[in-house]
Amino acid sequence: MRQTLPLGSMAGVPVRAHWSALGIAALIVVLLGTTVLPRAVPGYGQAQYWLVAAITGTLFMASLLIHEAAHALIARRRGLRVGSVTLWVLGGYTEMEEEAKSPRVELATAAAGPLASLGIAAVTLLAYVFLPRPALAASAAGWLSTMNLLLGLFNLLPGAPLDGGRVLHALLWWRFGDAARADRAAARAGQMLGTTLISVGLASTFLWNWLSGLWLAFLGWYIAMSARQELTVKIARAGLRGLRVAEVMTPVPDLAPAWMNVEKLIEGVVLHSRQTVFPVVTLTGAAVGSVSLDTLAAVPPQRRGSTRVEALTTTQRPVRTLAPDDEAALLLEQPAQGQLIAVVVDDRRLVGMVTDADLRRALGQSLLRTGADVTT
Extract the annotated binding site for Zn(2+): 67, 71, 163
Q: Measured from the CB atom, is 109 or 313 closer to Zn ion?
A: 109
Please name which of 317, 315, 342, 340 lies closest in space to residue 328, comparing C-alpha atoms. 342
Q: For residue 358, state whether it binds Zn ion (rule: CB under 5 A).
A: no
Span from 18-26, 41-49, 56-64, 160-168 in contact with Zn ion (CB under 5 A): 160-168
Count of residues that bind Zn ion according to CB under 5 A? 2
Q: What share of the chain is helix, strand, coil (3-state, %, to 5)?
A: 60, 15, 25
DSSP string computed for 196-216: HHHHHHHHHHHHT-HHHHHHH
Given the residues 68, 97, 267, 327, the one annotated as active site? 68
Nearest to Zn ion of 165, 213 (CB atom): 165
What is the β-pairing status of strands 321-322 and 340-346? parallel
* Min CB(155)–Zn ion separation in Å: 5
User: Among candidates 140, 113, 145, 152, which has minimal Cα distance to 126?
Assistant: 145
Single residue of 18, 139, 147, 163 touching Zn ion by CB under 5 A = 163
Nearer to Zn ion, 67 or 234 (CB): 67
Report the residue closest to Zn ion, judged by CB. 113
Question: What phi-psi label fits residue 338: left (phi over 0), alpha (psi between -120 and 50 degrees) or beta?
Answer: left
* Neighbour tally for 114: CB within 10 Å: 24
d(Cα 241, Cα 327) in Å, to the nearest integer?
8
**From the centroid of its chain, how far is CA 41?**
40
User: Does 113 interact with Zn ion (rule: CB under 5 A)?
Assistant: yes
CB of 64 to Zn ion, least distance (A): 9
Q: Which stretch binds Zn ion (CB under 5 A): 162-170, 212-220, 230-238, 257-265?
A: 162-170
Residue 68 annotated to the active site: yes
Nearer to Zn ion, 113 or 253 (CB): 113
Could you say whether residue 106 binds Zn ion (CB under 5 A)? no
Span of 105-113, 234-242, 326-334, 368-376 interacting with Zn ion by CB under 5 A: 105-113
Name residue 16's beta-bridge partners: 6, 86
- Please enumerate, by residue number, every residue annotated as part of a binding site: 67, 71, 163
Given its phi and psi angles, is residue 285 left (phi above 0), alpha (psi -120 to 50 degrees) or beta? left
**350-371 CB burial, b ≥16 within 10 A, e <16:** bbbbbbeebbeebbeebeeeee
CA distance 91 to 69: 13
Q: Using CB under 5 A, which of the segments 107-115, 217-225, 271-279, 354-362 binds Zn ion? A: 107-115
SS3 286: coil
Pick the closer one to Zn ion by CB: 29 or 162: 162
Sites of contact with Zn ion (CB under 5 A): 113, 163
Kindly list the catalytic residues. 68
